[in-house]
Structure 1
Amino acid sequence: MKVKEVAALTGISVRTLHHYDAIGLLTPDDMTEAGYRLYSDDNLAILQQILFFRELGFPLKKIKELLDSPTFDRQEAFEMQHKMLLEKRQKLDEMIETIEKTIQQGRGEIIMSNEEKFKGFDFSHNPYEQEARERWGNEAVDKSNKKVAQFGPEIQEEMNQIYSKLASLRHSDSTSDEAQAAIGDWFNMLNNNFGTYSPEAFEGLGQAYVDDERFTKNIDQFGEGLAVFMRDAMAVYAQKLRGEIN
């Protein structure tokens, strides 16, 4: 198919398709003698996947990183996108319910609690992107380290103090009040300086401390076994935030 045909089929502009080609995101498999781009069925399948990622809020740069990863599996990606879209639909349903109740409250028909007023809202970093990047070539560790370096010495000192406190507790029970208070300081520090972390994202980050040797190496500089201790403490803290345990 020529570029104009693809644009008509998909509803995206010719300029957008040219841009995808220019950045190496989607390069047509063939070209006519006159220089017109020709898109194969395989190109269309890739484009479909790109548009699913776009619908889920992925920046083009991140999509390219995923597609270029040697571990990327197209069929697995479609299955994951299906799961993510179902989760997005559930979130939208919750937000629709929230706004319907807000309208009812405005009419004096019901009274909403503060919790009900904000049900469905979540402005944390893209959970879909995190899941995909962890599966197909995660560069989050490198980017996180670069982000830390951008902060002033005050933030790094705060981080070091929390690490040191946790390191002094690493041989104790991760469920203890003292350990949970210290990991709570870590949770608050992340949320105050690195965006909003949901309980799930916080627990997933703790697992990454153990799964990724670069994280483990950096954290265990404060004491061998600290990464594992933090993972366990963060999991417990997340469970408490979700109300799964007291």
Structure 2
Amino acid sequence: MVRETLTRGQIVAGAINLLDAEGIEALTMRRLGQHLASAATSMYWHVGNKENLVVLAGDQAWTEVELPDIERHGWRGAAAQLARNTYDMLTRHHWLVSAISTHYVYGPGMARYQDHHYAIYQAAGFEGAELDRAYETVFNYVVGMALSKSYETAMRTRLSAEDDGEMRFAELLRRAEETAGEFPRLKARIEAQRDIDVVPVERESLDYGLDTIFDGLEARLAQRG
């Protein structure tokens, strides 16, 4: 049964669910209408078109990022927690990294998130252009860290729709490892990481980079002081 009455919020939430499950390439108004048991015309009425829907879905995803209390954690603790929360959201919604590279995803959700970032680095003592640089350095690092994870998830999602998807993915990994095997240092690192648990290592890598960046930011503040 087709349901004609939907709110914009319901449509955006449905789009996020579909994007998480099937990826950005699978999102169409017709596919979303089927997912929500509603006519595609209802989608167009509320959100305009697919491009605008991706922007709305992306901005809604940014509202999921919990904003840590600066007074409670201090600027560095708050910055680290916000970075981790951002990474978790971006890897949960694997399509968003790709979306922000091709769409201007900006609205109240992103503005709220960005404003809190500025509050954190302002509390640290950064002002003016330095405030922008501090925020951008951490933000770009976290997005970069999420990129490889999001790429793998998106590729698995795309291949899962094909009958031989798992076999194709395994073959891609085999070829990549074969290519890497021609370079001794790269081969050694791959072999060293072969049997490790990926999840905690990903978090350790994220934290290592964050600590390095924050050490550098604190050094700049100390030099200026």
Normalised TM-score (structure 2): 0.32
Q: Determine which structure has greater relative contact order: mean sequence separation of CA pairs < 8 Å that are 6+ residues apart, divided by chain length.
A: 2
| Structure with a larger share of its residues in helix | 2
Which of the pair has more CA radius of gyration?
Answer: 1
Normalised TM-score (structure 1): 0.30
